[in-house]
Amino acid sequence: MDPRTAVLVGAAAVDQRAEDPTVADGPVELMVDAARRAAPAALLERIELVYVPRGMWRLTNPGGAVAAALGAEGARTCIVEIGVLQTTAVAAAARRIAAGEADVVLVAGGEARHRHLSAKRAGVELPPDRDGDAPPDEALHPAAEILADVEIERGLALPVTQYAVVESALRAADGAGVADHRRRLAELWAGFSAVAVANPHAWDRTLHPAEEIEGAPTVAFPYSKLHASQWNVDQAAALVLCSAEAAAASGVPRDQWVFPVAVAESNLMIPLSQRVSLARCPAVAAAGRALEAHTGATPADAEHLDLYSCFPSAVQVQARELGIPLDRTLTLTGGMRFAGGPLNNYVLQSTARAVDVLRAQGGTALVTAISGMLTKQGLSLWSARPPARPFAWLDVTDEAAAITETLPLDPAHTGPATVDGFTVTPEHAIVLASTPEGTRTVAACGDAGVRTAMTTDEWTGRPIVIPTAGTFAC
């Protein structure tokens, strides 16, 4: 084996549920705890580079504080901003190890949002979270904005609303009835809940049957509260990667090594409202083809799967683009609603879980990532055995741009339009609609009768009228 081969020798996830928020750990302490559980102290002291995806906290350089706590004061640090795929950090770590730029790299992330909310409810002040003494050495930034201005202005800014619009387009493409579709969604998520019960680090290990999920309060039709990603958690995860040479000297047994095979990513950023097909994501298929070309196996051939699961439509779109049947087990953790989805960090949780599974059962694991509203996509493949080819980062952004059809936005449109996708919130019905001129617009309606009708009948494909820009009538 090439001594520069990247090897994952440590992975761990942690969670806390302290009754007193004033004695609970903050995000840095949780990341430190995860790192210490992941790898021997002697190896942690050799960390030369730390990647930390940004969370809901306002810390400047948590990676510096983590490195100092682990005895790796000289480590360089990189903050991974929101809008950057978490697979990007993993791929960067593997690539820099292969290039000889670092021997030991830590990728860690964490949230203490539950602690923060508990303190707010109790009316107590928390001490400042620990931070690094200096700015990070590097930062990874997204290339563009995730949302279009008109989406924000017209009530389509929250992830739950955008993914609910995608869900309506999926339902229409399948020709499913509204009631049957809701039942299928509840059954899909009940299966995720069952996996969470067996995950020791899942935030919610209570079994939620389909009837409960479907009957929970609606957040954005057809999604209930139990479909939505749970961000208010105290969780962290750490991945320790190093060169094979350093791994051999680390004392971690060879049968505990896990190998990053490849990461395939699209970093194309097109707002949902500009995509011709709301039910498709060609970039996911392109990433799957790139993995197959590199490994000779399709993503569906992986024995273990964790598809990024912020909302049901994300899981369904990925599965369809990758040729993965929905009746397979699609999560290792229980998904972001039940296992917990700490902002910009869930993929570290799912990768840590994948490592546990690979060490126990062998085979390969496909772990996927999404940024934004199905905006950017990352597929990472891991193996319990050394891969036949060196690790590869496969950038399919250009291919994704060539095969993703778009149309221009017309926020000022008035007149006839056709609904391409919609959702209903407690305040408004919101549609993405195409115009006779070949443009797309966003419109809302607050009429209670319209909102009710849109929760019982299929409105995708239906003609509407937009009497004034931004509002619609039937």
Q: Provide the token pair at 343.
A: 């902002």
Q: What integer pLDDT is reported at residue 341 of this predicted model?
A: 87
Pairwise CA distance, residues 430 & 160, whole Å: 12
pLDDT, mean of residues 215-234: 97
Q: Show Cβ contacts of residue 183 under 8 Å, excluding neighbours closer than 6 positions.
A: 210, 214
Alpha carbon of residue 317 to chain centroid: 14
CATH number among 2.60.200.30, 3.90.1200.10, 3.30.160.270, 2.40.50.840, domain 415-466: 2.40.50.840
Pairwise CA distance, residues 40 & 192, whole Å: 33
Q: What integer pLDDT is reported at residue 58 of this predicted model?
A: 93
Q: Show Cβ contacts of residue 416 under 8 Å, excluding neighbours closer than 6 positions.
A: 435, 436, 463, 464, 465, 466
Tell me the pairing of strands 304-306 and 364-371: parallel
- DSSP class per residue in 104-169: EEEEEEEEEHHHHHHHHHHT-PPPPPP--SS--SEEE--SS-SS-HHHHHTT--SHHHHHHHHHHH
The answer, yes or no, to whether residue 294 has pLDDT greater than 90, is yes
66, 271 contact by CB (below 8 A): no
Q: What integer pLDDT is reported at residue 1 of this predicted model?
A: 77
Q: What integer pLDDT is reported at residue 344 of this predicted model?
A: 84
pLDDT, mean of residues 146-165: 96
* Overall residue count recorded for the chain in this entry: 474
Q: Where are the domains of the chain?
A: 6-144+232-256, 157-230+259-403, 415-466
Q: What integer pLDDT is reported at residue 90 of this predicted model?
A: 98
Q: Show Cβ contacts of residue 398 under 8 Å, excluding neighbours closer than 6 positions.
A: none
- Per the DSSP assignment, residues forming a β-bridge with 269 are none
Q: Show Cβ contacts of residue 417 under 8 Å, excluding neighbours closer than 6 positions.
A: 431, 433, 434, 435, 436, 441, 443, 463, 464, 465, 466, 472
What number of other Cβ atoms are within 10 A of residue 180's Cβ?
A: 11
At the fourth CATH level, which superfamily is domain 157-230+259-403? Answer: Thiolase/Chalcone synthase (3.40.47.10)
Quickly state the pLDDT bin for 205 (edges 50, 70, 90): very high
What number of other Cβ atoms are within 10 A of residue 235's Cβ?
A: 28
pLDDT, mean of residues 93-108: 97
pLDDT, mean of residues 355-364: 98
pTM of the model: 0.97
CATH number among 3.40.47.10, 3.30.420.40, 3.90.1150.10, 3.30.300.30, domain 6-144+232-256: 3.40.47.10
Query: In what side-by-side order are the strands of the sheet with 304-306?
Result: 304-306, 364-371, 376-383, 259-266, 392-395
Angle between helices 27-38 and 62-69 (to 10 degrees): 50
The answer, yes or no, to whether residue 380 has pLDDT greater than 90, is yes
Q: What secondary structure letter does DSSP report for 274? A: G
DSSP reduced 3-state for 62: helix
Pairwise CA distance, residues 166 & 430, whole Å: 12
17, 45 contact by CB (below 8 A): no
pLDDT, mean of residues 199-219: 97
CA nearest 59: which of 28, 32, 35? 28
Percent of the chain with pLDDT over 90: 97
Pairwise CA distance, residues 77 & 74, whole Å: 9
Average pLDDT, the chain: 96
Summarised one tens digit per residue, pLDDT across range 414-427 is: 999 999 999 999 99
- Per the DSSP assignment, residues forming a β-bridge with 263 are 380, 393
Topology match between the domains 6-144+232-256 and 157-230+259-403: yes
- Dihedral class, residue 277 (left if φ above 0, else alpha if ψ from -120 to 50, else beta): beta
pLDDT, mean of residues 198-219: 97
Q: Show Cβ contacts of residue 152 under 8 Å, excluding neighbours closer than 6 positions.
A: none
343, 370 contact by CB (below 8 A): no
The answer, yes or no, to whether residue 412 has pLDDT greater than 80, is yes
DSSP reduced 3-state for 55: coil
Q: What integer pLDDT is reported at residue 181 of this predicted model?
A: 97
Summarised one tens digit per residue, pLDDT across range 225-260 is: 999 999 999 999 999 999 999 999 988 999 999 999
In the block, tokens 């809008």 appear at 83
Summarised one tens digit per residue, pLDDT across range 118-151 is: 999 999 999 999 999 999 999 999 999 999 999 9
110, 65 contact by CB (below 8 A): no
Q: What integer pLDDT is reported at residue 262 of this predicted model?
A: 98
Alpha carbon of residue 241 to chain centroid: 21
Summarised one tens digit per residue, pLDDT across range 311-358 is: 999 999 999 999 999 999 999 999 999 999 888 899 999 999 999 999
Q: What integer pLDDT is reported at residue 342 of this predicted model?
A: 83
71, 98 contact by CB (below 8 A): no
Pairwise CA distance, residues 109 & 437, whole Å: 46
Q: Which amino acid is at 171?
A: R
